[in-house]
Amino acid sequence: MSKSDYYKPLTGYRAMAAYMVFIVHFNPFEYGTFTQAFFAGFGIGVPLFFVLSGFLIYTRYNTFEITSSFYKMYMVNRVARIYPVYFLVTTVTLFFNYKAAAFTPYWMKIYLLNITFIRGFFQKYIATLVVQGWSLTVEEVFYFLAPILFLFGGNSIRKYLGIFLGLFALGWLLSFISVDMLNGYFWYDHKFMVIHTFFGNSFSFIVGILIGVLNDRYKEISFKYMTLVGFIGLFIVLLLLSQLNNVTVHKSENLFSWKGLMVYHFVGVPFIGALIWGLIHERTWVSRLFSTEIFQVLGKSSYSFYLIHFGIVHSIIKKFISDDTFLLFILLVLTAYLLWRFIEEPLNEGIRRRAKQILAV
């Protein structure tokens, strides 16, 4: 495959991940049924993004020598990619929030915590304004650390596994300090570290990096069914999660029990890696579908979709147009396309172009 074709299926894959998260937030099936419990597990769409980030950042930016100019341009590219539209959606959300309309010191604090991504470190602020934006704090921490991880990990699978163990252990140490020594100043539940921090999600990023390492070593392998393995594995994981989330049996949602978190964060993630490998190496109907023009557009606008699918834009559409879930989805997809086409992408390109001019001086 040419390089342009090589990544096309991964662009369509992004759309799948974003729409899975939508289904979690707006599960259309009757509460307490198997179907509802099964689709509640679609929150695994978030690790789908994290594994993809690990793979793409390693593939595009891995280097064994970090220079000041490289790191500056690298961070500019990362900020230009995610920050402008996030800032816009967060600001609009603030203005349309009737509680924040008075612009009290409390809401100004919330706003600053959100636009700086710092809110992702505090459990009591994690669900403020653009709720799903918590994952961007996780992404930003990875972006910040990635070149350092590449410096220490090189192209060694063993070293990256060691790095994961170190990151996860550090997360537990920080969790112990916050919960047991600082009276919950940052977070007051150990599960918060696993669910909402980079340390708890580090396995997803490391698996993505490992797919990049393996891709450098083995351009192809004789086994040609990794896409199938990935999908079957994820289906089994969703079945496991549906059993843990069976409210008829357990009387309460248990998706975020420790068993559920282990399945969600560790059992499912290697299958996501297998799926990514399959999409970039195998010519299947899935890779062809994800490479179509419609999925390229949906994938490129998936970040905007992710930011607006839950929150103020969704509320406006629901209040003034329709509360039908399917129609809401279609209108959100169209709105996300317009946001990407006329705001996200122009600002992304403009910031990168201007930064190159400034850094070249």
- Say what the pLDDT of residue 350 is: 93
320/151 Cα distance (integer angstroms)? 52
Estimate to the nearest angstrom the gap between the alpha carbon of 157 and the chain centroid.
Answer: 23
40/49 Cα distance (integer angstroms)? 17
Give the amino acid at 226. M
SS3 content of the chain, % helix, strand, coil (to 5): 80, 0, 20
Contact in structure between 128 and 193 (CB atoms under 8 Å): no
Nearest partner of 87 among 117, 53, 55, 62, judged by Cα: 117
Nearest partner of 144 among 208, 209, 203, 79, judged by Cα: 79
- Say what the pLDDT of residue 250 is: 44
- Say what the pLDDT of residue 6 is: 59
21/133 Cα distance (integer angstroms)? 12
pLDDT in tens, the chain (361 residues): 444 445 899 999 999 999 999 999 998 888 878 888 899 899 999 999 999 999 999 999 987 677 888 888 899 999 999 999 999 999 999 888 766 556 788 888 999 999 999 999 999 999 999 999 999 999 999 999 999 999 999 999 999 999 999 999 999 999 999 999 999 999 999 999 999 999 999 999 999 999 999 999 887 788 889 999 999 999 999 999 888 865 444 444 567 788 888 998 999 999 999 999 999 999 999 999 999 999 999 999 999 999 999 999 999 998 899 889 999 999 999 999 999 999 999 999 999 888 888 876 5
- Say what the pLDDT of residue 361 is: 57
Question: Is the entire prediction scored with pTM above 0.85?
Answer: yes
SS3 annotation, 52-118: HHHHHHHHHHCCCCCCHHHHHHHHHHHHHHHHHHHHHHHHHHHHHCCCCCCCCHHHHHHHHHHHCCH
Nearest partner of 21 among 227, 318, 309, judged by Cα: 309
Residue-range definition of the domain harbouring residue 355: 3-360
287/283 Cα distance (integer angstroms)? 6
Helices then strands (H, E): number in the chain?
20, 0
- Say what the pLDDT of residue 170 is: 98
- Say what the pLDDT of residue 70 is: 86
- Say what the pLDDT of residue 356 is: 82
Which are the contacts of 239, defined by CB distance < 8 A and separation ≥ 6? 38
* Tally of domains in the chain: 1
| Residue 354 neighbours by CB distance under 10 Å | 12
50/258 Cα distance (integer angstroms)? 20
Q: Annotate 292-319 with b (16+ C-beta within 10 A) or e (fewer).
A: eeebbbbbbbbbbbbbbbbbbbbeebbe
